[in-house]
């Protein structure tokens, strides 16, 4: 009987447990590692079955704890992982994670390891797939925060709010959440805007009779060339420059790491479960070395060589937001 090893790697996201549960095949043995790639080298693996996933299925707590590491960026890291898997007689490794984890999976493939990557990141910024596990739950969470800001804005009218979201150098999470939550202004790293642009948009909203103005801002949106992974608090800089122009205080809100957790919503559960079942079928066929992506509403196999960080935004959403004047400024590196 073939043996499959499973890890989660990088930032946590909700829905992974459902995918793991649904990919379990009666024709394979499964072992898991906590801690991502580094866990394969340093942690003791443990066997699991579908029964072990029952109480985890709907939980935002990861059945397999994730981890970040630079191990796969080193010259010897992939070989260390390969050796550890060989010692456990593993036939295939399944990696849940973002584009960085996909790069690690590709290195393992190039070293002779059978590997499957499953996209997992709230940012939804992986090339080759329309969906990444955790994105829909994060969007819903941010949507709810916007709705609550709107409520307090009605209760104490005239206020301007700015909320900072995750996303790294991608504005996709902010764009989707802002449209879902009915934010008034979206600040995205893909668009070059000025403080004067934001002030003008706020004035327009107030002139239109808004009882509050809600700005949603990606963590890297302001001066993205200076952004480093993990930086938070950009909205403080924006507010500091914006307040003198408006002559009023900007109320700031940073949900931070709460965006990445919480029990998965129905959409994430269903999509993750379908991805897991797709992987199960491929495992039974002994088909490896691909990413389980999502295109046109269904799972699909994407060559690992084609997987990287996605450039740009969902064009349909971006055009809709631009038409409704939600996005100030112009595209960076654009002739528009």
Lookup result for tokens 């299925």: 57
Beta-carbon contacts of 173 under 8 Å, excluding residues fewer than 6 positions away, are 122, 123, 124, 135, 138, 139, 142, 165, 166, 167, 218, 259
**Residue 123 is among the residues annotated as catalytic for this protein:** yes
Q: How far is CA 29 from the centre of its chain?
A: 29
Q: Which of 123, 130, 184, 268 is catalytic?
A: 123
Q: Report whether 190 contacts 331 (CB < 8 A).
A: yes
Q: Report whether 113 contacts 5 (CB < 8 A).
A: no
- Point out the residues that are catalytic: 123
């Amino acid at each position: 009987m073939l043996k499959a090893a499973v890890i989660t790697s990088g930032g946590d996201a909700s829905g992974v447990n459902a995918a793991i549960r649904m990919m379990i095949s009666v024709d394979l043995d499964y072992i898991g590692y906590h801690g991502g790639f580094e866990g394969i080298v340093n942690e003791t693996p443990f066997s699991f079955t579908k029964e072990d996933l029952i109480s985890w299925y709907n939980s935002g707590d990861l059945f397999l704890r994730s981890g970040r590491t630079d191990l796969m960026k080193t010259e010897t890291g992939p070989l260390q992982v390969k050796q550890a898997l060989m010692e456990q007689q593993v036939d295939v490794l399944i990696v849940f994670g973002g584009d960085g984890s996909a790069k690690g999976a590709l290195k393992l493939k190039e070293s002779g390891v059978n590997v499957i990557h499953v996209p997992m990141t709230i940012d939804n910024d992986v090339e080759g797939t329309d969906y990444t596990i955790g994105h829909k739950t994060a969007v819903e969470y941010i949507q709810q925060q916007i709705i609550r800001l709107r409520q307090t804005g009605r209760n104490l009218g005239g206020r301007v709010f700015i909320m900072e979201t995750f996303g790294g150098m991608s504005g996709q999470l902010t764009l989707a959440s802002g449209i879902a939550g009915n934010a008034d202004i979206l600040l995205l790293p893909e668009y070059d805007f000025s403080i004067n642009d934001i002030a003008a948009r706020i004035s327009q909203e107030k002139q239109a009779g808004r009882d509050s103005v809600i700005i949603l801002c990606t963590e890297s949106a302001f001066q993205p060339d200076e952004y480093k992974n993990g930086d938070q608090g950009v909205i403080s800089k924006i507010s500091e420059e914006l307040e003198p122009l408006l002559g009023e205080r900007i109320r700031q809100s940073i949900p931070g790491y709460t965006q990445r957790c919480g029990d998965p919503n129905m959409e994430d559960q269903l999509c993750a479960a379908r991805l897991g079942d797709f992987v199960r079928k491929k495992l039974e066929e002994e088909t490896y070395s691909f990413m389980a992506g999502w295109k046109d509403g269904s799972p699909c196999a994407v060559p690992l060589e084609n997987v990287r960080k996605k450039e740009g935004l969902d064009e349909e959403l971006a055009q809709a937001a631009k038409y409704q004047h939600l996005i100030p400024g112009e595209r960076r590196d654009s002739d528009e």
